[in-house]
Amino acid sequence: MKHRRHVFLTVTLTLGLLLTITPVQAQVQIGASISDQGLDSFYLAIGDYFHAPTVQIQAVRSRLAPDEAPVVFFLAQRAHVEPSVILRLRSEGRSWMDITLHFGLSPAIFYVPVEFDPGPPYGHAYGYYKKVPRAKWSTVRLPDADVVNLVNLRFMRDYYDADASAVVRLRHEGKHFADIGHAAGKAHAKHGPPAKRGKGGPPDKNPGKGKGHGR
């Protein structure tokens, strides 16, 4: 009986600890393999690229996994709303595509032109765009993982001047975008700053300009 009681108490305490994990702790566990330097420089780069103040960066950092952070600012910029609005919708359980359509944005905004045939994990995403005529890209529906990969690919290319094929290869190897960006940043520290740094993404003339709902 004592042995059973001990096992029961152990399981109960373990479940209790799991239920008390905060969003911040969950994020740390998800990004446990990312170096601290990589995370810090990644969020600094996001703030620089999207011209976001520290308070906004910290709000997103405390609620979402690192790889999802650029998506919040990317959509906020194109929908002309505060990042907190995007963060609230995401916290309600909405997919990135649901949020995109909520603001009247077209999935065309996620497309990043490349001069090679991308493999996994980008193959499916580019396959959607290839199968549908450009005029009908508004009908494309991307799962969350594809949205995250495409937004970060644009971010890596524009801010760090990273080679798109290298980003695809590193993602295929399981690398986090924070570490990919950190490595690219260190490389540019030796050879000069990226030429495109701080542009904040494509201009609003990009297809799928938002309607600004939910301000």
Q: pLDDT-based confidence at 13, cuts 50/70/90? A: very low
**Domain assignment present for 146:** yes
Q: Can you give the pLDDT at residue 119?
A: 87
Average pLDDT on 19-30 reads: 36
Please indicate, yes or no, if residue 179 is contained in any of the structural domains. yes
Residue 20 covered by a domain: no
Mean pLDDT of the chain: 80
Residues of 149-182 as b/e, b for ≥16 C-beta within 10 angstroms? bbbbbbbbbbbbbbebeebbebbeeebbbbbbbb
Contact yes or no for 109/206 (Cβ under 8 A)? yes
Residue 97 belongs to a domain: yes
Asked whether residue 21 is assigned to any structural domain, the reply reads no
Domain coverage including residue 93 = 34-191
Q: Is residue 214 part of a domain?
A: no
Residue 27 falls within a domain, yes or no? no
Residue 103 confidence class, pLDDT cut points 50, 70, 90: very high
Give me the mean pLDDT over the 120-136 stretch: 94
* pLDDT of res. 182: 86
In the structure encoding, which two tokens stand for residue 45, read together?
A: 């780069």
* Domain count of the fold of the chain: 1
Q: Report if pTM > 0.85.
A: no
Q: Specify if 182 maps to a domain.
A: yes
